[in-house]
Amino acid sequence: MKHFAKLYLYIIGFFLLIFLVMNLTGIMSVADVKYYVQKVSAQSPLVIGLVIYLLLASDVFFSVPTIFLVTSAGYLLGFKWGLIVSVAGMFTSGLIARLLCTVFGKRILGFVLGDDEKISEVHRLFRRFGPGILLIARALPMLPEATCCMAGINRMPWRQFLLYYLAGTLPYAAVLVYLGSISSRENPYPALAGIVGMYVVLWAMWWWLVKRGGGRRKE
């Protein structure tokens, strides 16, 4: 299990490094993302949707604030179009991460692990836990992108990847978009309360998955 965790930590550390570099250099900070959304909020729904989609799709490169963007989509576009734009953006980001790590997966495994036995252990563990992690990856920042990378590195079947990634992303997006659509600048509390409740559920599921893995015999 430690080699599985090590690979995850390396990938998450890489995304964290990108986030820090982008924010410290001012290339793309959280404040910039909020500024762009505020700037286009008076534009047509098409422009708003395109900007939010592009920002969400770029998450794999810039680590944008997903919660803010998805709730903003609901607030600015309404439930239907907010959901379409949000799912499309997050889905695109996940596909990019999956494709990149499919191409460079062998090099990543060789660099981080370098041993065939350790690599086989990681493949075996991802076959067991990968689908479950994809379902609840939204519980933690950067975990969705890291898990999509893991799916590419471990050559998870495309049909399985798409099914579980969408199954985990769609409910997450639906809840946040709905909360955004019923909130307002004067009354943001429905979104705040709903977000807290959703994360309590996701964290409980994450804790169960970790406990289930820890309770099994060591790989």
Domains of the chain, by residue range, sit at 2-215
Residue type, 17: L
Mean pLDDT on 74-87: 95
pLDDT digits (tens, 9 = 90+) for 43-59: 999 999 999 999 999 99
Using the CB atoms, write b or e for 181-204: b if 16+ within 10 Å: bebeeeeeeebeebbeebeeebee
Q: Hunting for tokens 């990938």 — which residue is that?
A: 11
> What's the whole-model pTM score?
0.83
Largest CA-CA distance found in the chain, in angstroms, rounded: 57
Q: How far is CA 186 from CA 66, 72, 182, in A?
A: 22, 14, 11
What is the average pLDDT value for the chain, to the nearest integer? 84
* Cα 164 to Cα 138: distance, rounded to the nearest angstrom: 12
pLDDT digits (tens, 9 = 90+) for 102-115: 998 888 888 888 77
* Cα 118 to Cα 120: distance, rounded to the nearest angstrom: 5
217 pLDDT above the threshold of 50: no
Six token digits for residue 150? 């893991």
* Cα 152 to Cα 7: distance, rounded to the nearest angstrom: 13
Residue, of 76 and 203, whose pLDDT is higher: 76
* Cα 69 to Cα 202: distance, rounded to the nearest angstrom: 19
Percent of the chain whose predicted confidence (pLDDT) is above 70: 84
Residues shown for the chain: 219
pLDDT at 212: 63
* Cα 24 to Cα 5: distance, rounded to the nearest angstrom: 28
173 pLDDT above the threshold of 50: yes
